[in-house]
Amino acid sequence: MIITADGNHALNQNLKNGKLILYVSGEYGGATASLSYVDSVGSTIPLTDGELLTGQQYQIDAGKYITLFATVTGASGTTAIEIKVTQKD
Give the mean pLDDT of 3-26.
87
CA 34 → CA 19, 53, 89, distances in Å? 18, 8, 25
Tell me: pLDDT of 33 over 90: yes
Q: What is the pLDDT of residues 48-71, one digit of tens each?
A: 777 899 999 998 887 767 788 999
pLDDT at residue 27 in the model: 96
The candidate with the shortest Cα–Cα distance to 89, out of 35, 39, 16, is 16
The predicted model scores a pTM of: 0.85
Mean pLDDT of the chain: 88
Distance CA 26, CA 57 (A): 13
Position with higher pLDDT, 16 vs 4: 4
